[in-house]
Structure 1
Amino acid sequence: MDKIVVEKEVVVGDGGGGTGSNAIWALAFIIIVGMIVGALYYSGA
């Protein structure tokens, strides 16, 4: 089984608040989860 390493670099420009920031975090979370699920699916797990 391949080892999946996810590195996340956080750059906070507006203190992490605001609707735009929340939307970006939600999108990033969906992309990361999708990549993990896709990797597991394609590896036959």
Structure 2
Amino acid sequence: MRKRLVAWTILTCALLAVAVWTVLGPPEPPAGPHLPSRDLTAAVR
């Protein structure tokens, strides 16, 4: 029963994410002076 609940929750979240992605489109890159890749490397350091 628990595995079925987990599978149902994951499936529901996936469908919801696809629906939001379809309605809103892919996320826009942040309009800041730093590039996301630079922020990521800085966070790693």
Instruction: Report the TM-score, using the length of structure 2 for normalisation.
Output: 0.54
Aligned ranges 1:20-39 → 2 under 5 Å: 20-39=3-22
Structure 1 unmatched ranges of 5 or more: 1-17
Larger Rg: 2
In the alignment of these two chains, the number of paired residues is: 26
Q: Deviations over 1:5-43 (max 9, x none)?
A: xxxxxxxxxxxxx0000000000000000000010011x
Give the fraction of aligned pairs with identical amino acids, expressed as a percent.
8
Higher helix share: 2
Root mean square deviation, CA, Å? 1.5
Structure 2 unmatched ranges of 5 or more: 26-45
More relative contact order in 1 or in 2 (CA 8 Å, sep 6+)?
Answer: 1
User: Which aligned runs of 4 or more in structure 1 are off by greater than 6 angstroms?
Assistant: none
